[in-house]
Chain A
Amino acid sequence: MRKIVAIVFLAIIGFYIISIFSAFQFGDKYKGVSEHYVKEGIIENRGANLVTSIVVNYRGFDTLGEVTVLFLAATGLSFLLFSCKCEREFKRIKSSLVLRTATDTLFPMILLFGAYIFIHGHLTPGGGFQGGSVIASGVMLLFLSFRSFHPNHKTLSTIEVLAGISFAGIGLLGLVYAKSFLANSVLPLGQWNRLISAGVIPLIYIAVGLKVGAELSGLISDMISTTKED
């Protein structure tokens, strides 16, 4: 009975999705705001990566909101898990020698790669969200291989707070020196396709990268370290 009701429900939803999206021509020429982004974005922002200039500049306020949602979810998770009197009887097994040796070699390289991704966010594919998640997956490797590993939560939250404040501060500077929040005319735009170019976009993406990396590492740490050790 439950399955029949679910299938009828799914058929209705599927019908409406098909009838909405059959009005779109897939692969059609886009109009409106995306056309402006593609045609003028590289001239207005001097960043080679158009996705970065949309995420950080045109929709920068939206990105600030998303980072806030991430922060709230991480806070709620640690509140739920640490106020819990869950039994902590699960053991973390000692990992193998191969994993530990590989982690020793690979972890600095993963950190360096993550930093490379978010510093070059305006030139190549990548940016703050990608670099931050690469750094968090490096921290995840540390958790998997050393069973008594604990990151310093004070340091993580300090990085998080400083990165968030600098993001909002750069936005407020735009309000002071130009006419809108997060406007890209505080710093000179520079030359196209150089590392130091595109105004404040690299600075904001570095702040986003550090914030996302610290937040996701804290989230993984909260999930794992509420299990009892040895």
Chain B
Amino acid sequence: MIFFGASLLLILIGLYGALVKRNLIKIIIGLSIMDTGINMLIISLGFVKGGTAPIISLKSLFQKNSLLVDVSKIVDPLPQALVLTAIVIGVAVTAMALSVVIRMYSVKKSIEIDDFKELKW
């Protein structure tokens, strides 16, 4: 339950940073904090208190093609599989956003969002 609160706070802090700040790199930092919060929320959904990791490699747990361990004591592996790929995609998307920022800096010599007024009306 504390993990739910922590991830909720991380999501809200990251979103606040992305909404209020005017520096482009600060906005991307806020989005990456939000990313960490969301991943932790999904992982904590599958957590079973006192459970074991979903890796069955002890001889006593699996014999003659049947599972001897209590299934409800294994942590849910599905959220972990989802978050695993989401982290790798997150770094690629962050790098892409930062390259857009570098490109914008080469045009205006500034990364403050107030200096880009062309689309304002």
Asked if A pairs with B, the answer is yes
Q: Please state if B46 and A30 are interface contacts (CB–CB under 8 Å).
A: yes
Assess the A27–B85 pair: CB atoms within 8 A: no
The smallest beta-carbon distance between A44 and chain B, in angstroms, is 10
Instruction: State how many angstroms separate the Cβ of B23 from the closest Cβ of chain A.
Output: 14
Residues of B within 8 A of A63 (CB): 85
Q: Confirm or deny: B67 has a beta carbon within 8 angstroms of a beta carbon on chain A.
A: yes
Does A230 interact with chain B (Cβ within 8 Å)?
no
Query: What's the interface size class on B, roughly?
Result: 35 or more
Interface 0/1 of B59-90, CB less than 8 Å to A = 10010011100011010111011001101110
The stretch from A77-85, A109-117, A165-173 touching chain B is: A77-85
Q: A26-B47, A85-B106, A212-B88 are in contact. Are A73 and B56 (CB under 8 A)?
A: no
- Among the interface residues B16, B55, B62, B99, which one has the most CB atoms of the partner chain A within 10 A? B99
User: Are A27 and B49 neighbours in the complex by a CB distance under 8 Å?
Assistant: yes
Establish whether residues A129 and B88, one from each chain, have CB atoms under 8 Å apart when the complex forms. Answer: yes
User: Closest CB-CB distance, B20 to chain A, in whole Å?
Assistant: 5
Interface size on A, residues (CB 8 A): 61
B111: min CB distance to chain A, Å: 13
Say yes or no for A42: interface residue by CB 8 A criterion: yes
Q: Is the CB of A223 within 8 A of B95?
A: yes
Q: How far is the CA of A59 from the CA of B44 in the complex (A)?
A: 21
Say yes or no: A73 contacts B55, CB within 8 Å.
no
Distance to closest chain B CB from A33 (angstroms):
7
- B119 interfacial contact with A, CB 8 Å: no
> With A35-B71, A80-B99, A216-B91 in contact, is A48–B76 under 8 Å at CB?
no
Chain B nearest CB from A121 CB (Å) reads 11
Chain B 31-62 residues near chain A, CB threshold 8 A: 41, 44-49, 53-57, 59, 62
- Asked if A49 and B88 make an inter-chain contact with CB atoms under 8 angstroms apart, the answer reads no
- CB of A29 within 8 A of CB of B72, answer yes
Q: Would you call A6 an interface residue if the criterion is a C-beta within 8 Å of the partner chain's C-beta atoms?
A: yes
Minimum distance in angstroms from A66 CB to a CB of chain B: 4
What 0/1 readout, one digit per residue, does chain A (1-37) give for beta carbons within 8 Å of chain B? 0110011011001100110010010110110011101
The answer to whether the Cβ of A97 comes within 8 Å of any Cβ in the partner chain is no
Bound complex: CA A191 to CA B93 (Å): 40
Q: Which of B41, B65, B102 meets A81, CB within 8 Å?
A: B102
Q: Is the CB of A50 within 8 A of B92?
A: no
Find out whether the CB atom of A26 lies under 8 angstroms from the CB atom of B77: no
Q: Assuming A124-B55, A215-B92, what are 6 further A-B pairs, CB within 8 angstroms?
A: A2-B19, A7-B16, A35-B71, A74-B95, A86-B105, A223-B98
Query: Could you list some 15 contacts between A and B, CB below 8 A?
Result: A27-B48, A35-B71, A38-B77, A42-B62, A43-B66, A49-B55, A62-B85, A69-B89, A74-B92, A81-B103, A84-B103, A84-B106, A86-B103, A193-B57, A193-B62
The 8 A-B pairs of least Cβ separation, nearest first, read A73-B92, A86-B106, A50-B54, A54-B81, A48-B57, A6-B19, A50-B77, A66-B85
